[in-house]
C-alpha cells in the first residue's frame, strides 16, 4: 500500500488516485464485476498492473462488460458466485481457498438496491441477505488468504442514513417492508462489518474500511426506474439547499470508484481503518438530527463498536458458522508484508 501525498476530492477519478502507482505483483479480489462500479474498479486495477480476481453471478455478462472497457480476458480471473445463495458463496470461497492466491486487497462491491420484497435462497430479505450476509460469509471464509498489510473495503452507501440495523427482525418477519429501509439496514450492516473486522484483525495486520461512492446511475438503481431515481436526486438537492449547501454532484463510474481505490490502496491505513469514507476523504460523523439525507457524513450508529460486535455474533448465528481468524491459520502469514 502507498502513503498518500496528494489530496483528492469528490471529482477525483480512479486514474487520478492511482496516478504513478504500479500495482504489479498485487492481487485484488472484487465482487460484482459484471456492471457499474465493479467493472470500472477492475479496469483501473488491471490498467495499473494488478492481478484481479472478479466474482459475478453471470460470467458471460461479466466478460462482455469487462471487454467493453478494454479488460482482456487473460487479465482477470472470473469466479462464479451468487451472494444471494450461501451454497454458491461457499463453493466460490472453497475454490479460492483451494487455489491459495495471496490477497492484498478485497473489495466487497456487489449489491442490490430497493427491489420489491423477496428472499434469498437461504430465507433472508433480499438486500440484507445479498449485501450483508453473502459478503459476511464470503469475506470471512477467504480472510485467511489476506496477508499482513492487506485491506478490506466494503461498499456502503449514503443509504445507510435510512436506517440502523435491526437485529431482532432483519428480514421483515414482523415489520412492514419498505425498500429503502431494507437498503439502509443492509448498508449500515456493511459499515458495521468493516468496523468489527478491523477491530478483530488489525493486530494481524489486516485493516478494513467502508466507502460511500456517491450518487451514480448504474445498474444498482434498476429496480427504481429513471423517474424515481430523479425524484430522489431532487429531494436530496432540496434538502441540501435548505441547509445552504451545494447541490450533490452526480458522479461518473470513474469518480464513484475512486474512493474505493483511494481507501484500499492510497490512504493511510490508520486513518481509514474502522471508518467510513466518501469523496476520497474520511467521512465526518454527523450527529445532528436536522441534517438531511443528502448531507455528507456517516451516522454514528453505523460506527458503533458494540452494535458491530452484536451484528457479527448474530450473523454467525444466522449462517451457522463461527469465524475467528488466527495468525497460524494461513501458510501465507510467512510471506513479506504487502
Give the residues across from 56 on adjacent strands. 80
Per DSSP, the residues of 22-56 read --TT-EEEEE--SSHHHHHHHHHHHHTT-EEEEEE
43 vs 39: CA distance, rounded Å: 6
Give the burial string for 66-99 (b: 16+ CB within 10 Å, else e). Answer: beeeebeeebbbbbebbbbbbebbbebbeebeee
Of 18, 57, 25, 17, nearest in space to 38 by CA: 57
CA-CA-CA-CA torsion for 208, 12, 24, 72, nearest 10 degrees? 110
Of 102, 149, 163, 168, nearest in space to 265 by CA: 149
Which cell numbers in the block locate residue 70? Answer: 478494454
SS3 content of the chain, % helix, strand, coil (to 5): 45, 15, 40
Residue 232 exposure: Cα atoms within 13 Å on the Cβ side: 18
Which cell numbers in the block locate residue 161? Answer: 442514513
Instruction: Return the active site residues.
Output: 183
Which cell numbers in the block locate residue 274? Answer: 474502522
89 vs 129: CA distance, rounded Å: 12
E strand segments, the chain:
27-31, 51-56, 76-80, 103-108, 146-155, 207-212, 276-278, 281-282
128 vs 76: CA distance, rounded Å: 28
99 vs 102: CA distance, rounded Å: 9
Amino acid at each position: 500500500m502507498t502513503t498518500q501525498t496528494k489530496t483528492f476530492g469528490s471529482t477525483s477519478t480512479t486514474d487520478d488516485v492511482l496516478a504513478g502507482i504500479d500495482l504489479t505483483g498485487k492481487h485484488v479480489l472484487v465482487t460484482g464485476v459484471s456492471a457499474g462500479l465493479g467493472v470500472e474498479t477492475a479496469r483501473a486495477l488491471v490498467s495499473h498492473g494488478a492481478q484481479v480476481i472478479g466474482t459475478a453471478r453471470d460470467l458471460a455478462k461479466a466478460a462482455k462488460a469487462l471487454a467493453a472497457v478494454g479488460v482482456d480476458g487473460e487479465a482477470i480471473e472470473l469466479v462464479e458466485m451468487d451472494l444471494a445463495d450461501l451454497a454458491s458463496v461457499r463453493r466460490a470461497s472453497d475454490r479460492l481457498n483451494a487455489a491459495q492466491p495471496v490477497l492484498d486487497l478485497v473489495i466487497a462491491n456487489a449489491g442490490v438496491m430497493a427491489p420489491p420484497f423477496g428472499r434469498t435462497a437461504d430465507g433472508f430479505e433480499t438486500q440484507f441477505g445479498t449485501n450483508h450476509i453473502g459478503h459476511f460469509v464470503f469475506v470471512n471464509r477467504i480472510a485467511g488468504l489476506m496477508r499482513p498489510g492487506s485491506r478490506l473495503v466494503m461498499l456502503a452507501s449514503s443509504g445507510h442514513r435510512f436506517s440502523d440495523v435491526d437485529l431482532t427482525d432483519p428480514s421483515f418477519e414482523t415489520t412492514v417492508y419498505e425498500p429503502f429501509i431494507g437498503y439502509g439496514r443492509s448498508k449500515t450492516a456493511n459499515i458495521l462489518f468493516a468496523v468489527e473486522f478491523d477491530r478483530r484483525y488489525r493486530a494481524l495486520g489486516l485493516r478494513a474500511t467502508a466507502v460511500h461512492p456517491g450518487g451514480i446511475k448504474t445498474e444498482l438503481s434498476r429496480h427504481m426506474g429513471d423517474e424515481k431515481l430523479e425524484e430522489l436526486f431532487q429531494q436530496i438537492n432540496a434538502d441540501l439547499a435548505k441547509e445552504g449547501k451545494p447541490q450533490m454532484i452526480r458522479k461518473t463510474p470513474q469518480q464513484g470508484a475512486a474512493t474505493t481505490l483511494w481507501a484500499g490502496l492510497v490512504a493511510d491505513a490508520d486513518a481509514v481503518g474502522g471508518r467510513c469514507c466518501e469523496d476520497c476523504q474520511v467521512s465526518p460523523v454527523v450527529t445532528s438530527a436536522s441534517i438531511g439525507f443528502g448531507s455528507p457524513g456517516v451516522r454514528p450508529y453505523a460506527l458503533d463498536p458494540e452494535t458491530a460486535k452484536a451484528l457479527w455474533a448474530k450473523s454467525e448465528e444466522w449462517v451457522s458458522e463461527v469465524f475467528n481468524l488466527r495468525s497460524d491459520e494461513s501458510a501465507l502469514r510467512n510471506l513479506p508484508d504487502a
